[in-house]
Every structure is written in C-alpha cells, then in structure tokens.
Structure 1
Amino acid sequence: MNDAPNPISPSEGAATGGVRLMLRLEGLAVLAAATSVYFLAGGNPWLFAIVFFMPDLSFLAYVINARVGAAAYNAVHTYILPLALAGAGWSLEIEPLWQIALIVAAHAGFDRSLGYGLKYASAFSHTHLGAIGRKAE
C-alpha cells in the first residue's frame, strides 16, 4: 500500500460559499432532528451523553496513517452508518440499536454544523468543508 501524501491541497475539493453554509445548516438540521426524535421516543439521557462523542474515537486510526485514519473517521461520520443501524434496529426490533443510530447521526450533524467535514487522506485538517485547525485560512 502506498502511504505517500495525497498531492491535493487543502483548498481543493472543499465546498465554499453558500454551498458550505448549506452543508453546515444541513448538519445542524440533522443534529436537531435526530436529537429531538431520540428524546421524544423516550431515549435515556445517559446513553446519549455516553455515545455522543464515541465516533470521535475513530481518530485513533490516525496512529496507523492518514489514509486509514480518514477511512475510519469517514466510516463513522457519514449518515450511512446510522441509517444502516436504524434499519437493522427497526426491522429486528432492537430498540437500543436504532437509538444509537440517532445518537451517531446527531454527532455527525453536530460535527458538520461546526465545519468538521469528511476527511481526505492527505491530512487530518483537509476536509470536504475546507481546512480545519491552526492552519485553516
């Protein structure tokens, strides 16, 4: 496997202007909707508090390299995982599974609303919503 840095600059492949704003607002809407549904369905506040930041443990994969780190981060920060968990939980009638799905969706929406996008393998700070961190413009 080639672990060479991706030559794409942090500004390439990033949403800008109104598109970036809409993506951040979309994240805020997902956060609000998933959190509301979770609590309206009688979700446990302690479960929410414990699980909400668990997707960020995917950062540990960056210890291996940026490509693996980005793949791990993206796997738990897209809406695909919570949709799959919700579908499985709903169809198998496993309530905690779809509740966890709502929490993971809320987390992904939270991150997007703050401007933390999906990661490119070139660097942790290179996201689809633009550069993040100290070197962000």
Structure 2
Amino acid sequence: MRSLDLTIRLEWVAAAAAATVFYKMTGVSWWLFALLILVPDLSMLGYLAGPRIGAIAYNALHILIAPLVLALAGVLFGGPVTTAVALVWIVHIAVDRALGYGLKLSTGFQDTHLGRIGRDRGKLSS
C-alpha cells in the first residue's frame, strides 16, 4: 500500500472515530448503533436489477451528503435521535472508505472510484 493510500485510509479511520465519539455524546442507546450500522449495505440489493441500478442504489446510501444534512438538521432542530442516525451512517461510510470500498461504477460491484476491490484489485483502468 502506498504512503498516500495509507494516509487517506487513516483519515477515514479518524472520521469514523470522531463520528463514534459524537454518537456517544448524543446519549442515544448503543443498541440503535448496532441495529443501524449495516443498514446502508442493504442498498446492494439494487444489484439484483443489474450493475447500473445497483451502483446508483449503493452510491445513494454511501455518499456523505445525505448523512451530513441529516446530522445538521438533527443539531439545528434538537433531534438527538436524528443526529445519532446520521452519525451511524457517517461511521459506516468512513469505515467502508478506510477498508478501501469506494463508490461503485456502473461496470460492476468490484469497480469503485478508489479502484478495483477483491482478487482483481488494481486491474481497473481509469
């Protein structure tokens, strides 16, 4: 792994850690965290309709825009559960990125904006 790759992955680890600390600060039960942490991965069911639809569904739940807006709404409107849900979502995305899982390309699940995942890692040409 190149130095830059490691640095970027460590940034995502730090983001996941920070979001987890902020989650604790909401005072919301850790049961909710456990219940929701893998929910964004249900978007992979979109791949049952093909790689294009799968990529759209997966990416819709794996970009930071929606959980950041949700977290902001939770903070602005005093909704600790809303904020907590957003933070779990952010942790999920950050852990995915730290593990090297990026947003999906329409060519297939293994093809991401970070490169190819799985056994054929590195074979995707940009």
Structure 2 length normalisation: TM-score?
0.87
The structure whose RCO (Cα within 8 Å, separation 6+) is larger is: 1
Deviations 1:3-62 (A, max 9, x none): xxxxxxxxxxxxx84443333222111110000111133231100000001000000011
2:17 alignment partner in structure 1: 32
Runs of 4+ in 1 over 4 A off after TM superposition: none
Distance in 1 (alpha carbons) for counterparts of 2:56 and 2:78: 30
Structure 1 length normalisation: TM-score?
0.81
* Percent identity of equivalent pairs: 45
Output aligned runs, 1:98-117, within 5 Å: 98-117=83-102
Q: Secondary structure at the match of 1:126?
A: strand
Do structure 1's residue 68 and structure 2's residue 49 form an aligned pair? no
Quick one: which of 63, 67, 82 aligns to 1:82?
A: 67
2:70–2:86 CA contact under 8 A, matched in 1 = yes
Distance in 1 (alpha carbons) for counterparts of 2:105 and 2:78: 36
1:56 alignment partner in structure 2: 41
Distance in 2 (alpha carbons) for counterparts of 1:78 and 1:21: 21
| Alignment RMSD | 1.6
2:26–2:80 CA contact under 8 A, matched in 1 = no
CA drift of 1:134 comes to 2.8
1:20–1:129 CA contact under 8 A, matched in 2 = no
Q: Unmatched 5+ residue regions in structure 1?
A: 1-15
